[in-house]
Amino acid sequence: MWNVLLSFSGLVALIQLVFLPFFPESPPYLLLQKEDKAGCLKAMKQLWGEQNYHTDFDDLMKEKALTKGTKIMNVLEVLRERSVYPQLCTMLLLLLSLQLCGLSATANLQESIIPYVSLGVSISELISIIFCSSIIDRFGRRVLLCGGYSLMALILVLLETSLLLSDQFLWLRYCSVILIFLFIIAYGIGP
């Protein structure tokens, strides 16, 4: 049934592709990048109805005045800009560290359970994205980074302990899977 599971993301992408043309462009994109004032107002009216969207429009106009003269860079221009190399390297290291850490392989599980673990990893990543995006404004990045790294360290200690004892207690293998899911959630919330 893996082909069904893998094709699900394609089905979601197809649905988005069909319905996306019916949605308006982003008002900030229309005003700040396309400089289409009328299109921005039309999009705001379509998105928010007849309610008072003029305060948001005024905020966008202030932002436009502040960013006037600022060059908007495309992806290739950003990659050529030497001043962002440290940030890009940090971001790539963080992304690759989770992909290449091999946490799922450490659980020492039966082969029949591995597809469920992979599904659980994906669900854990989704949970961390939803949770992080809802709390980042409340706590700030620094608290989430420090808390995320602290949780990751604690979870790794517990994971190592459960792996060392998994030969004596078979149920600890399943605890290690849960700890892997929690590690991924902590990673997504923090780093």
The ranges assigned to domains in the chain are 1-72, 78-189
If we measure between CA atoms, which residue out of 96, 104, 102 comes closest to residue 178? Answer: 104
Q: How far apart are CA 93 and CA 24, in angstroms?
A: 36
pLDDT values of the chain reduced to their tens digit, one per residue, 191 residues: 666 766 777 787 788 888 888 888 888 888 887 888 899 888 888 888 777 777 888 888 888 888 777 777 777 887 888 888 888 887 777 666 656 656 555 556 667 777 777 778 778 877 887 777 777 777 777 788 788 888 888 988 898 888 888 888 888 878 888 888 888 888 888 77
Greatest CA separation for the chain: 70
- Please, how many CA atoms are within 13 Å of residue 123, restricted to the half-sphere of its CB? 9
Amino acid at 136: I
